[in-house]
C-alpha cells in the first residue's frame, strides 16, 4: 500500500536574486595560474568545479572557460588587464546577460527534472554545470541538497518562469 502524503508547505520556492557582477573568462590552460593569481581566485581545472574567496566565485564551464561572480567587476577587470601582456585572455563583463533564480524546497529536483534532460540529482553539492532547461541554456549551481541557483538569459526568463509556474502548480497539487 502506498499512502499519499500531503505536504501543504510550498514544495518549491523560486525567487529572483539581486543583480551581481558576472564575468566570462576565456584563457588557455597554460596561463590559468597567472590569471588565478591576478584575480585572487582559484580557477579549478575540472569542468563543473567551483572555487570561492572574498565573496567571489568561479565555476569552470569548459576546458578554457570560467564564469566568475563578484560583488564588483571593476577591480577584477583592472587586475586582469595588468597581466594581459604575459597571459593573453578574454575577460568580458556579462552581468546584464542573465538573471539568477534561487530555487529551493523539498521538490526542487522534481521541478528541475521537468525540463532538464540531464540527471540533476547526480550533480554533487558544491558543483555547477551549464545545461539546458527546455530549450534555454542555463547555468546551474548546486549549493545544497535542495538548494540551487540558476542563471537564465534574460530574454528566456519569461519562458522559463512560465514552465516553472506550471510545474510548481502540479507539484503543489501532489501530481
Partner 1 sequence: MLLIHCPYCDETLPELEFAYAGEAHIARPVDPSALSDEEWRDFLFIRTNARGTHFERWRHIHGCARFFNAARDTVTDRFLVTYKAGESRPDLTVKESAE
Q: What's the CA gap between 45 and 62, in Å, rounded?
A: 9
Shortest Å distance, C-beta 111 to partner 1: 18
Q: Count of CB atoms within 10 A of residue 108's CB?
A: 22
Q: Are strands 13-16 and 21-27 parallel, antiparallel or unpaired?
A: unpaired
Closer to partner 1 by Cβ: residue 37 or 134: 134
Shortest Å distance, C-beta 138 to partner 1: 8
Closer to partner 1 by Cβ: residue 101 or 129: 129
Q: Which three cell numbers stand for residue 77?
A: 577587470
Closer to partner 1 by Cβ: residue 63 or 121: 63
Query: Contact at 8 Å (CB) between 39 and 56?
Result: yes
Q: DSSP label at 54? A: T
Shortest Å distance, C-beta 62 to partner 1: 4
List of residues contacting partner 1 (CB under 8 A): 47-48, 61-63, 65, 117-118, 129-132, 137
Amino acid at each position: 500500500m502506498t499512502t499519499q502524503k500531503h505536504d501543504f508547505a510550498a514544495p518549491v520556492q523560486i525567487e529572483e536574486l539581486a543583480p551581481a557582477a558576472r564575468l566570462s573568462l576565456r584563457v588557455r590552460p597554460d596561463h590559468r595560474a597567472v590569471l588565478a593569481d591576478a584575480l585572487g581566485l582559484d580557477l579549478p581545472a575540472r569542468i563543473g568545479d567551483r572555487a570561492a574567496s572574498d565573496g567571489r566565485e568561479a565555476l569552470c564551464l569548459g576546458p578554457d572557460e570560467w564564469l566568475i561572480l563578484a560583488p564588483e567587476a571593476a577591480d577584477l577587470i583592472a587586475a586582469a588587464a595588468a597581466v594581459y601582456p604575459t597571459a593573453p585572455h578574454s575577460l568580458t563583463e556579462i552581468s546584464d546577460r542573465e538573471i539568477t533564480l534561487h530555487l529551493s524546497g523539498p521538490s526542487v529536483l522534481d521541478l528541475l527534472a521537468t525540463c532538464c534532460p540531464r540527471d540533476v540529482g547526480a550533480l554533487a553539492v558544491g558543483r555547477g554545470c551549464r545545461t539546458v532547461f527546455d530549450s534555454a541554456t542555463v547555468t546551474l549551481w548546486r549549493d545544497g541538497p535542495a538548494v540551487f541557483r540558476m542563471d537564465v538569459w534574460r530574454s528566456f526568463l519569461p519562458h522559463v518562469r512560465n514552465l516553472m509556474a506550471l510545474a510548481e502548480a502540479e507539484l503543489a497539487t501532489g501530481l
